[in-house]
Amino acid sequence: MFKHEKQLFHPVEVERPNPQYAVLMQEQLGGGNGELKAAMQYMSQSFRIKDPAIKDLFMDIAAEELSHMEMVAQTINLLNGHDVDYSAVNAGEIQTHVILGLNPGLINSSGYSWTGDYVTVTGDLCADLLSNIASEQRAKVVYEYLYRQINDKKVKETIDFLLNREEAHNAMFREAFNRVQDSGSNKDFGVTKDSRIYFDLSSPSPANAFGDTQAKPVSFNNPNS
């Protein structure tokens, strides 16, 4: 069961309208690394998880991502600050002016529709957790790019909050992975000596991170073998 609390997870304000930047923010609403993608991915993955604590973790983070989506949508609304007028946006996505009446839609900054193809579900907890860790890291990168391209202090406060929450989710997923890393695909495969060999195939090759300069298999456990 879900219910909507009529308050944002964190206050959202802008110093002034900025329609061009509102286009950029669409990426975190309907893009491949955005908040809807994260919410749907974690929720979908949770359906088959048997560990109650990890299942709750996935659902709790998914619910929070939906609240982040609401924050991003409100930021876009405030940044638009104008009536339907495509000339207010110099470049980029203009679809919201003709199909959505400036309603923040499930499209990215180029106007492409959100798709379930963004969502990764394997049924293997280790694989899904690693995918989620990577998803949070990619979301952080997008928010960092957004942060660098705006001088509006209020918008930057919102992005800074969202950045910190992405890092929190990243840490939670890493902790969960540490708990289950010897299960599933990690238990059944990748356990022979072949999984612990590094092939140096670069020629000429400088000293690599494992202390070997020859183009031969190198054991991770014994760099000189």
Fold of 19-185: Ferritin (1.20.1260)
Known binding residues for Mn(2+):
35, 65, 68, 136, 169
Higher pLDDT: 223 or 211? It is: 211
Known binding residues:
35, 56, 60, 65, 68, 136, 169, 202
Structural domain spans, the chain? 19-185, 193-219
Query: What is residue 103's predicted lDDT score, i.e. its pLDDT?
Result: 93
Known binding residues for Ca(2+):
56, 60, 202
Which pLDDT band, with edges at 50, 70 and 90, does 191 fall under? low
Q: What is the pTM of this model?
A: 0.85
Query: What is the 3-class SS of the chain, one letter each residue?
Result: CCCCCCCCCCCCCCCCCCHHHHHHHCHHHHCCCCHHHHHHHHHHHHCCCCCHHHHHHHHHHHHHHHHHHHHHHHHHHHHHCCCCCHHHCCCCCCHHHHCCCCCCCCECCCCCECCHHHCCCCCCHHHHHHHHHHHHHHHHHHHHHHHHCCCCHHHHHHHHHHHHHHHHHHHHHHHHHHHHCCCCHHHHCCCCHHHHEEECCCCCCCCCCCCCCCCCEEECCCCCC
Q: Per-residue pLDDT tens for 29-64?
A: 999 999 999 999 999 999 999 999 999 999 999 999
Q: Per-residue pLDDT tens for 79-115?
A: 998 888 888 888 778 888 889 999 999 999 999 999 9
